[in-house]
């Protein structure tokens, strides 16, 4: 395994529900990322955290709310989602956010919004 774990692996939620995705890395990295992978579309970078501080928010709707309490944990809080938000949500980490560092991905959470 890559050293990045995500829970849950699968999630089905209604549009009025509130849920959270969790990511944990055991690699001693300082940067963590959330990506969205929709069917037959390229991965989209959503958020970037470096040393617990958010450094990138790629115009993500406010119904997605990230939280990074420390360098090892990253959450994605979800509320009032839409069916088009159904996708595979991937977490990744790297030593730093510099473009020279390799990213390690978790297995993802398959989210279905009904």
Partner 1 sequence: KNQVEQSPQSLIILEGKNCTLQCNYTVSPFSNLRWYKQDTGRGPVSLTIMTFSENTKSNGRYTATLDADTKQSSLHITASQLSDSASYICVVIPVTATGGFKTIFGAGTRLFVKA
CB 88 within 8 A of CB 105: no
CB 43 within 8 A of CB 103: no
What is the Cα–Cα distance from 114 to 108, expressed in whole angstroms? 19
Please give the residues from 74 up to 103 whose contact with partner 1 meets the rule CB under 8 A. 90, 92, 97-100, 102-103
Query: Which window, 13-21, 64-72, 74-82, 106-114, contacts partner 1 (CB under 8 A)?
Result: 106-114
Rule CB under 8 A: say whether 69 interacts with partner 1.
no
Q: Coil, strand or helix: which one is 87?
A: strand
Q: What are phi and psi of 83, to 5 degrees?
A: -55, -30
Q: Which of 21, 48, 78, 111 binds partner 1 (CB under 8 A)?
A: 48
What is the Cα–Cα distance from 74 to 48, expressed in whole angstroms? 10
CB of 40 to partner 1, least distance (A): 7
Interface mask toward partner 1 for 18-47; x: CB under 8 A: -------------x--------xxxxxx--
Residue numbers at the binding site for partner 1 (CB under 8 A): 2, 4, 31, 40-45, 48, 55-56, 90, 92, 97-100, 102-108, 110
């Amino acid at each position: 395994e890559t050293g990045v774990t995500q829970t849950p692996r699968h999630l089905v939620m209604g549009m009025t529900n509130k849920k959270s995705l969790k990511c944990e890395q055991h690699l001693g990295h300082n940067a963590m990322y959330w990506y969205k992978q929709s069917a037959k579309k390229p991965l989209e970078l959503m958020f970037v955290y470096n040393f617990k501080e958010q450094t990138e928010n790629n115009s993500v709707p406010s119904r997605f709310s990230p939280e990074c309490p420390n360098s090892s944990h990253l959450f994605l809080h979800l509320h009032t989602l839409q069916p088009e938000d159904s996708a595979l949500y991937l977490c990744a980490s790297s030593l730093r956010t510099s473009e020279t560092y390799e990213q390690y991905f978790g297995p993802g959470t398959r989210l279905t919004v009904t």
